[in-house]
Structure 1
Amino acid sequence: MPSETPEAAPATALVIGASGGIGAALAAALEDRGTAVTRLSRRQDGLDVTDPDAVARVLGAVEGPFELILVAVGILAPKGQGPEKALDAIDADHMNRVFAVNATGPALMLRHLPRLLADGGRCGVLSARVGSIGDNGMGGWYSYRASKAALNQIVHGAALELKRQDKGAVLVALHPGTVETEFTAAYAGRHKMVAPEEAAQNLLQVMDNLDPAQSGGFYDWRGEAVPW
């Protein structure tokens, strides 16, 4: 469980995916707390997370270090499509696209983490509870579930490597809950949803309270561990 004594607001933060619903809300919430925020997105900066050259160019031009880094990128399905509900709906191109954005893209960005993260800094990568194998009681949504499970493994492994360089650093996967964004519009009414602003405050509180011993974990918006 998170510590009951929150840390002070970070002086500097990098928000990747800052033009999306949650990313924009995270950046705004940090700025309201007095944090100097650097925002990156595909829309504003040409950060195509599926293009290794674009990731290297955009992140290579960023000067850190940052006390907090948040990665808020992802897709539910390729544009104009939805998640697969059955095995016979699996399509290789669909799956490759989802993995490229949700797993490979964040992995490419995490390559820059040792340079960009301040000593003892914190990094949160947005994942999703449906990426939990232990919590999957319904099946379906093959590409999205599998890509988030892959992302969780990448974050966990990166956290172990980071800890060997900086024992005070924190790197975790985060489940924000179901947030009211364009991303979830087609599923409104099926799940309890929260506004992006509320989700951002929840996630920042979790990041504030995490202890270095929790680095490498998977936590929901309440700070509770999510099964792998």
Structure 2
Amino acid sequence: MLGFRDGYRAVVLGASGGIGAAVLVALEGDPMCGEVVGLSRRDDGMDVTEEGSVQAAARGVAARPGTVDLVFDATGALEIDGQGPEKTIRAIDPAVMARQFAVNAIGPALLIKHFAPLLPRDRRCVLATLSARVGSIGDNRLGGWISYRSAKAALNQIVRTASIEIARTCPQSVVVALHPGTVETGLTATHGRHADKVSPAEAASALLSVIDGLIPAQTGHFFAYDGTEIAW
């Protein structure tokens, strides 16, 4: 599974959320997976808005023997501290916007900073981060959700830039942003009215299938759950 060696190691960040928990379960059920570590704020105290917390979490994984073949970042939030996405630029609150960036852009950047060094240099490895199609500038035709869109657009740039740097030391690495689609979680229950919702388990299976087919030449790109590439 996933194109890794037998006994591969994986880390799931944000493993207490709907998608993260489902990815964790799927990896635990893969007989090829030698070890999977799940980390989250709820269960392990890993707070992506605190660099010391992220660094400590990465050190804990690094203390185990071996490198990490897959880092799956399922962190992020649409509604933060009870504040949902604003519908117009007139509703922008700078504190709310800053919190969106802290959770959805800076947090994942810190995760990449501290977990990318755990990737192997001599074989294929993957660092995947959950983004969102609404973070695509080229695909934006509806407007709204400015803070969330902007934070995810920033995340996409972080992924793109990090992929270039990581490839210098890990030439077989694949660093990508993934759009999971509309998934039946607490987030979509509040903000989504889509007929095509899928369960977290279905989303996890689709995303892991995409990861399975990715090659190093595709590093630094943005893919949907069905494997199609999304415009930046």
Q: Provide the residue aligned with 1:7 in structure 2.
A: 3
Aligned-partner Cα distance in 2 for 1:29–1:7: 15
Q: Provide the residue aligned with 2:164 in structure 1.
A: 160
Q: Provide the residue aligned with 1:57 in structure 2.
A: 56
Q: Which contiguous aligned blocks of 4+ residues in structure 1 show a shift greater than 3 angstroms?
A: none
Q: Provide the residue aligned with 2:126 in structure 1.
A: 122
Moved more, 55-64 or 23-32: 55-64
Q: Percent identity between the aligned chains?
A: 50
Letter of the 1:75 partner, please give it.
A
Q: Provide the residue aligned with 2:141 in structure 1.
A: 137
Match of 2:101 among 99, 115, 119: 99
TM-score by length of 1: 0.94
| CA deviation after TM superposition for structure 1 residue 8, in Å | 5.0
Is the CA contact 2:116–2:127 (under 8 Å) kept in the aligned structure 1?
Answer: no
| CA deviation after TM superposition for structure 1 residue 55, in Å | 1.2
Aligned-partner Cα distance in 2 for 1:6–1:71: 16
Aligned-partner Cα distance in 1 for 2:5–2:87: 42
TM-score by length of 2: 0.92
Q: How does 1:213-224 map to 2 (within 5 A)?
A: 213-224=217-228
Aligned-partner Cα distance in 2 for 1:47–1:221: 26
Q: Which runs of 5 or more structure 2 residues have no equivalent in the other structure?
A: none
Aligned-partner Cα distance in 2 for 1:155–1:116: 17
| CA deviation after TM superposition for structure 1 residue 80, in Å | 1.6
Cα deviation, 1:118-156, whole Å, max 9, x if unaligned, reads 232111100000000000000000011000000000000
Aligned-partner Cα distance in 1 for 2:45–2:2: 35
Match of 1:226 among 212, 225, 230: 230
SS in 1 for 2:87: coil
Is the CA contact 1:159–1:216 (under 8 Å) kept in the aligned structure 2?
Answer: yes
Is the CA contact 1:98–1:144 (under 8 Å) kept in the aligned structure 2?
Answer: yes
Q: Which runs of 5 or more structure 1 residues have no equivalent in the other structure?
A: none
- Measured on the aligned residues, the alpha-carbon RMSD in Å equals 1.6
Aligned residue pairs total 224
Q: How does 1:8-27 map to 2 (within 5 A)?
A: 8=4, 11-27=8-24
Aligned-partner Cα distance in 2 for 1:176–1:9: 25
Cα deviation, 1:70-113, whole Å, max 9, x if unaligned, reads 00000103232210000111001100111100000010111123
SS in 1 for 2:177: strand
